[in-house]
């Protein structure tokens, strides 16, 4: 598998600049990461899927799961509530974004607002929307700024099995790598060389057209669509 040093050395060699030119090298590394981010923005690739078990701590509004997933969470396909940390499956939790949750809470409050303020306090504290949601669904799961949250907020530690896509982290160390350096090395290389062409010592800049880039993306998307499991139907 190619790593970060492989591709930045390749790009620097192509534009005829030594890696000792630290300012140019730094720009080269940024352009490589730009290419990776650009490719990811258009599609959640199968190779960015993650299936991880986490402990959601008590009283946490949201939890950053980057360290568990190897990247910032992009979406949640399914979230299972586990009975124990070692369980391999559990109840699938319903998903709502936080705006939808607050809309449901507002609707609940509007339907259950009494005239007496003391009665209102009793209802909201004892039988509010959080209690209703917990009794019916246990929890809702939501995403906010790359972190996951549970509603209502759990009062004890909760074990979750997350399945979703991540945003790949930027390459930094020489040995850093990701699946795009295996499956789209040429595309990232061409994009980076094109962006670095202003550093060429002679102005016979390498040409890299939009059509070529589109063809490379189309080929990568086709490969991704072919990464599907084949199931043998067995009615018995």
pLDDT computed for residue 133 by the predictor: 55
What is the per-residue pLDDT for 201?
A: 61
**Nearest CA among 13, 40, 73, 8 for reference residue 183:** 40
pLDDT of residue 230: 47
Q: Give the separation between CA 112 and CA 128, rounded to whole angstroms.
A: 9
Burial class (CB in 10 A: 0-12, 13-18, 19+), 150: buried
Q: Please say whether the beta carbons of 59 and 153 come within 8 A.
A: yes
Whether the CB-CB separation of 159 and 84 falls below 8 Å is answered with: yes
Q: How far is CA 100 from the centre of its chain?
A: 21
At residue 211, the pLDDT reads 75
Residue 12 and residue 30: Cα distance in Å, rounded? 13
Distance between CA 113 and CA 118 in Å, rounded? 11
Digitized pLDDT (tens) for each residue of the chain, 236 residues in all: 899 999 999 999 999 999 999 999 999 999 999 999 999 998 899 999 999 999 999 999 999 999 999 999 999 999 999 999 999 999 999 999 999 988 888 877 776 665 555 555 544 554 555 555 555 558 999 999 989 999 999 999 999 999 999 999 999 999 999 999 999 999 999 999 988 887 776 555 555 667 777 788 888 888 888 776 544 444 44
Helix, strand, coil % over all residues of the chain, rounded to 5: 45, 20, 35
Q: Which residue carries 């040429």 as its tokens?
A: 186
Q: What is each CA distance from 48 to 64, 102, 153, 166, 197, in whole angstroms?
A: 17, 31, 28, 6, 30
Residue 232 confidence (pLDDT): 44
Query: Tokens at residue 221, please?
Result: 């998307």
- Neighbour tally for 139: CB within 10 Å: 21
Tokens of residue 25, six digits: 């090298």
């Amino acid at each position: 598998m190619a790593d970060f040093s492989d591709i930045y050395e390749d790009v620097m060699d192509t534009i005829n600049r030594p890696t000792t030119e630290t300012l140019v090298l730094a720009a080269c590394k940024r352009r490589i990461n730009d290419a990776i981010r650009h490719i990811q923005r258009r599609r959640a690739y199968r190779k960015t899927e993650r299936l991880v078990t986490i402990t959601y701590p008590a009283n946490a509004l949201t939890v950053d799961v980057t360290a568990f997933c190897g990247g910032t969470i992009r979406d949640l396909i399914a979230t299972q509530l586990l009975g124990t940390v070692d369980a391999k499956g559990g109840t699938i939790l319903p998903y709502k974004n936080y705006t939808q949750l607050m809309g449901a809470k507002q609707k609940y409050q509007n339907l259950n607002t009494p005239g007496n303020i003391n009665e209102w306090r009793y209802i909201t504290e004892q039988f509010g929307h959080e209690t209703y949601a917990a009794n019916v669904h246990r929890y809702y799961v939501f995403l906010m700024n790359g972190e996951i949250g549970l509603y209502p907020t759990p009062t004890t530690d909760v074990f979750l099995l997350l399945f979703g896509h991540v945003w790949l982290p930027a390459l930094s160390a020489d040995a850093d790598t990701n699946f795009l350096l295996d499956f789209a090395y040429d595309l990232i290389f061409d994009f980076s060389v094109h962006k670095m062409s202003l550093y060429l010592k002679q102005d016979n800049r390498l040409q890299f057209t939009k059509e070529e880039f589109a063809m490379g993306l189309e080929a990568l998307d086709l490969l991704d669509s072919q990464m599907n499991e084949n199931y043998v139907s067995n009615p018995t």
